[in-house]
């Protein structure tokens, strides 16, 4: 039962939007021979809520499949993760996945990391109301750039006598698939450094989407209700705000398919008709059928992902899957 008037969670905002840098990044991407927009621009306030809706769709198997794995094997995972660990939740979003594991993992502290600062602040405040006994820290950080905990976070851990507690990097939801194999290795090496800086027994608990039949895989990114299409097209409204562009989302079709050679889902926006898009200081003509590449989601085999974890400095991994082996949750200890 929620405690009356619990202490508010601490919050450290490292990421701050640099408007000019964002405009430069967007203009550069639109100017490439094959236009692209980074997937982080999918997650404005509306985009974050649309993604939450996607996770409820019947076609979108990762969320419910991962949840079933946590439900079936949570106790086995908890046996490998020291009680009282600091749970460092990467891309925490609504914080719901971590909160669902609090009863079995029994963390001593919770550090929620996300680039969507306002969304995270609201979610963490609501979570603290229900778990007043767990010290919580929100960290507004773009961990795709750097995952190192800032000095303020280290001081927060020290003040709560958590600096020597084991650390568990928690990265559910298959978001690691948004990184290329090279980028994923770099991120996991940073996650290893975060874990190794805590007490012994730390490691990474991570959700990974596995290779599976196209009939299951592709509809998860192109649902019948069109929620994923709305999520993808909403990116254009976000670009309009940042760049002063005049994209008209209705003139763009959502396109998602599995690239067999690269072992990844690709999402694109495809021009429905010839059009010229203008923004302050630039413009680009798109012919009908031209695409803007908006997101990738790499799919892994258990063997390849286990090898990736070891290359990042973790020890031999344990993983759990559903009955159909559609999804995997991996635990790997951080070797010092």
Q: Is the pLDDT of residue 4 over 70?
A: no
Quote the CA–CA distance of 278 and 284 in Å, as a whole number.
7
pLDDT band at 17 (very low <50, low <70, confident <90, very high): confident
How do the residues of the chain divide into helix, strand and coil, expressed in percent and rounded to 5?
Answer: 40, 25, 35
Percent of the chain with pLDDT over 70: 98
Percent of the chain with pLDDT over 90: 89
DSSP class of residue 336 equals -
**Backbone dihedral angles phi then psi of residue 279, each to the nearest 5 degrees:** -145, 170
Burial class (CB in 10 A: 0-12, 13-18, 19+), 312: buried
60-212+301-333 carries CATH number 3.40.50.150: yes
Residue 21: predicted pLDDT: 93
Residue 6: predicted pLDDT: 61
Residue 322: predicted pLDDT: 98
Burial class (CB in 10 A: 0-12, 13-18, 19+), 93: buried
Residue intervals of the chain classified under CATH 3.40.50.150 are 60-212+301-333
Question: For 166-220, how does the pLDDT look when each residue is reduced to its tens digit (9 = 90+)?
Answer: 999 999 999 999 999 999 999 999 999 999 999 999 999 999 999 999 999 999 9
Quote the CA–CA distance of 164 and 158 in Å, as a whole number.
8
The single residue listed with the structure tokens 């405009």 is 23
Q: What is the DSSP string of 162-195?
A: -TTSEEEEEE-TTGGGGS-HHHHHHHHHHHHHHH
Q: Is the pLDDT of residue 3 over 60?
A: no
pLDDT band at 260 (very low <50, low <70, confident <90, very high): very high
pLDDT band at 117 (very low <50, low <70, confident <90, very high): confident
pTM > 0.75: yes or no: yes
Task: List alpha helices for the chain, DSSP H.
Answer: 19-31, 45-54, 61-80, 96-105, 117-130, 151-159, 181-196, 214-217, 227-243, 302-311
Quote the CA–CA distance of 117 and 123 in Å, as a whole number.
10
pLDDT band at 40 (very low <50, low <70, confident <90, very high): confident
- At 99, list the tokens: 């909160």
**Backbone dihedral angles phi then psi of residue 307, each to the nearest 5 degrees:** -65, -35
Q: Which residues pair with 279 in a beta bridge?
A: 282
Quote the CA–CA distance of 107 and 208 in Å, as a whole number.
22
Averaged pLDDT of the chain = 95
> Do 309 and 332 touch, CB atoms closer than 8 A?
yes
Angle between helices 61-80 and 96-105 (to 10 degrees): 30
pLDDT band at 1 (very low <50, low <70, confident <90, very high): very low
Question: For 47-97, how does the pLDDT look when each residue is reduced to its tens digit (9 = 90+)?
Answer: 989 998 999 999 999 999 999 999 999 999 999 999 999 999 999 988 999
């Amino acid at each position: 039962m929620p405690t009356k008037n619990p202490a508010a969670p601490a919050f450290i905002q490292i990421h701050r939007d640099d408007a000019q840098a964002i405009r430069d990044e967007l203009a550069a991407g639109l100017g490439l021979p094959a236009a692209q927009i980074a997937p982080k621009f999918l997650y404005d306030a509306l985009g974050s809520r649309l993604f939450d809706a996607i996770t409820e769709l019947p076609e979108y198997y990762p969320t419910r499949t991962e949840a079933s794995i946590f439900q079936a094997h949570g106790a086995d995972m908890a046996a490998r993760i020291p009680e009282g660990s600091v749970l460092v939740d990467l891309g925490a979003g609504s914080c719901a996945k971590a909160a669902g594991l609090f009863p079995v993992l029994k963390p001593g502290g919770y550090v929620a990391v996300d680039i969507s600062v306002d969304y995270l602040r609201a979610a963490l405040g609501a979570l603290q109301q229900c778990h007043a006994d767990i010290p919580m820290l929100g960290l507004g950080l773009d961990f795709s750039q750097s995952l190192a905990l800032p000095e303020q976070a280290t001081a927060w851990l020290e003040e709560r006598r958590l600096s020597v507690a084991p650390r568990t990097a928690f990265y559910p939801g298959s978001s690691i698939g948004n990184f290329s194999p090279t980028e994923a290795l770099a991120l996991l090496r940073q996650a290893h450094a975060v874990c190794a800086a805590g007490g012994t027994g730390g490691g990474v608990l991570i959700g990974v989407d596995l290779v599976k039949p196209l009939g299951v895989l592709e509809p998860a990114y192109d649902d019948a209700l069109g929620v994923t299409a709305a999520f993808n097209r909403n990116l254009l409204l976000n670009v309009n705000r940042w760049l002063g562009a005049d994209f008209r989302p209705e003139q763009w079709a959502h396109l998602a398919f599995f690239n067999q050679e690269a072992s990844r889902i690709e999402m694109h926006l495809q021009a429905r008709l010839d059009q010229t898009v203008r923004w302050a200081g630039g413009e680009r003509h798109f012919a009908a059928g031209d695409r803007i590449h908006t997101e990738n989601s790499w799919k892994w085999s258990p063997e390849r992902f286990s090898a990736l974890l070891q290359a990042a400095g973790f020890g031999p991994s344990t993983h759990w899957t559903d009955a159909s082996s559609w999804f995997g949750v991996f635990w790997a200890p951080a070797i010092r």
